[in-house]
Structure 1
């Protein structure tokens, strides 16, 4: 259901309230008679100090103040009143026998809206008050519009907070265990929601798929497209996963090679997704029995392997982003993971993060961080990497979405005696 936004109640016909400030009781009575005849409810104060006390407990639409008064004159009262004034505006008229330009400038400087020379003409007083009423009416309209905008903003902010929770819920858990081998996920949006997504799914009894997606742009549109593409790797219904391809030769379903998967997503982006947005992706097919790694890099930053002995290897050649060129070709890259090695897929929010000197973290910065944090494992590592990046930036929040997927190959998995994956009753070749 849509949010119901309550508009503020504005009563232009409500009786206006005026404060008359003058050390002469006779003058106060004269002004009160005029103002009451013009529809005002009036209050009186014999000095600036008494007027300030009244203003501290009640709002006045109009303040009519003499300049020359004992204890606190009208100028000092106006200055003190403007300093304590709340959100609602009061129209302030100073009454003075001074007519030099310096006095007028001084009064305007402390916050007076208008001046009337003494003795005051009732006709001129009425005209000046009418001008002030027009200003107050506009102020009420602006305040009402701002209040309505604030209500709309609050409703939008609640929607975005809910969208953030929903996006985070797409990562059901941050760490996955595959017979002692672990995958740890990091997702930190620069705003409420972002276009980065990371995740995993089971291909077969001994193979997993890991993906990292970065949609161009930020905000809700990028988040929706990122979630839609991540849904193509759904682990819920195996036959709905975009990785599954029916072999044209045998007619049997099989897990497509990474470059085939990238090509299928590219075709979907251009043919079925009504968007001009593009995205980058890394999709990795990992054999848990052998450590064999096959992946496609489509415009995403270079995946990095940290060997058990600490060596750092960046792999891949870049590749084209998804959604730019029809019939784009992609390449499957192969690498071998040994026990103790780990693979990190990450978004450019890490390498392109800048510090206060506009220097990028870069691949060298990531390499240094990997070495520094080599003793940490799993979620502890990806969280420490995030804090390392924040420390580098010198900021409290990231300017771009930050995401990553860390796979740690601890040992070769023994193939279990489990049934193969099925597609509509047919075993999937793996």
Structure 2
């Protein structure tokens, strides 16, 4: 490949000799009689290689090299200094200024062509790297555009997911239900909700789908339809009885969901569930725990009780059996269902909050109710974790005022 080579020397004879030797290799040669003239030529059309004498009146070859390196060009210019200097310090100074190679006068034609060939290899690598960088930049720009598009979609998806929890609080007369949902990313796999079974009974649930991201979010959207209070005919927890609806026992509900996930959804995604059916008249609660963190009852005295024995997650084991947990709520008692994003929240040293840590936080918040309790709990959790949560955080709080 023919290169543009600039020869700079105050000696016209020396320039002609060098130009003649270079031209035999098929390169295009331009001549300059001084460093100042060479700079003007470089500004008009940048050469690929510069061969410059060191000792010249006015601007020396070293000064010319320094001035050249301060200019901006699209590509790299390979710079060879011609010199009679052999001292190590002088050569080091030239390299430090920006020279790439040296030739000692008088110049041998073979050595000159060999040094130019070496420079060509450097320029070829530089050009290949530049092309690859250009391709890489184009690819990164395309990826960034794609990421921005996905990011916008995920932001909208988060809004839609948040809309699945339409009510964060409702009073049922002698009992209140408060919900908390805080995804760790754009979209998550947690879902909480409640629905009315009858005038005196409600269902409250907490769900945690395995994994994070779009797959988990799609599963929560499907499950929201299965546990919807707005579409009782689609709610799997409800059974039509004449003109109204009754409740499917909690253990049967967990078994039904398990069969649907394994036989119909056919996905590797599974979820954990805590579902409670609350009798508003008596305070009697029937629950199922399917791999979910232990439900908590906090008595009016502030005492905390953990319920359940764990159980299998939904969608993992064929023909899994689930047991019903029963507990009595009295006036001032509350039931707390939450995802493991709370108990597994780490502090800055990586230590998890754990069940006992959560009991301590609930004890500190015992004097607050409803949303004030949830906000206080989250403030305590933020202080513990430093505000960073690797997993979604969700909870459902049922506060019982007592029999009417």
What's the TM-score, normalizing by structure 1?
Answer: 0.72
| Equivalence for 1:409 | 400
Change (3 A) 1:128 1:258: closer
Q: Does 1:342 align with 2:334?
A: yes
Change (3 A) 1:392 1:251: same
Q: What is the aligned counterpart of 2:171 among 163, 166, 177?
A: 177
Structure 1 SS opposite 2:233: helix
Deviates more, 1:64-73 or 1:290-299: 64-73
Deviates more, 1:115-124 or 1:142-151: 115-124
Q: How far did residue 239 of structure 1 move?
A: 1.6
Change (3 A) 1:364 1:126: closer
CA contact (8 A) 2:298 2:333 kept: yes
Q: Which one has the largest radius of gyration? A: 2
| Equivalence for 1:137 | 131
Q: How far did residue 313 of structure 1 move?
A: 1.0
Q: Does 1:292 align with 2:284?
A: yes
CA contact (8 A) 1:67 1:74 kept: no
Q: How far did residue 253 of structure 1 move?
A: 5.7
> 1:170, 1:129 → 2: CA distance?
60
CA contact (8 A) 1:65 1:74 kept: no
Q: How far did residue 336 of structure 1 move?
A: 1.1
Q: Does 1:91 align with 2:82?
A: no
What CA RMSD, in Å, does the superposition of the two structures yield over aligned residues?
Answer: 4.2
Unaligned residue ranges in structure 2 (runs of 5+): 29-34
> 2:350, 2:390 → 1: CA distance?
12
Q: Does 1:245 align with 2:239?
A: yes
Q: How far did residue 162 of structure 1 move?
A: 1.3
Structure 2 SS opposite 1:397: coil
Q: What is the aligned counterpart of 2:100 among 92, 115, 118?
A: 115
Q: Does 1:400 align with 2:391?
A: yes
Write the deviation string for residues 223-270 of structure 1: whole angstroms up to 9, x where unpaired.
1112211220111221211012368xx999631111111111111111
> 2:193, 2:47 → 1: CA distance?
60
CA contact (8 A) 2:198 2:245 kept: no
Unaligned residue ranges in structure 1 (runs of 5+): 1-17, 39-44, 55-59, 414-430
What's the TM-score, normalizing by structure 2?
Answer: 0.76
Q: Does 1:307 align with 2:292?
A: no
Structure 1 SS opposite 2:311: coil
Q: How far did residue 378 of structure 1 move?
A: 1.4
Structure 2 SS opposite 1:357: coil
Q: What is the aligned counterpart of 2:184 among 175, 178, 190?
A: 190
Q: How far did residue 398 of structure 1 move?
A: 0.8
Structure 1 SS opposite 2:137: helix
> 1:287, 1:188 → 2: CA distance?
28
Structure 2 SS opposite 1:333: strand
Q: Does 1:374 align with 2:366?
A: yes
| Equivalence for 2:32 | none
Change (3 A) 1:309 1:142: same
> 1:404, 1:155 → 2: CA distance?
31
> 2:53, 2:286 → 1: CA distance?
85
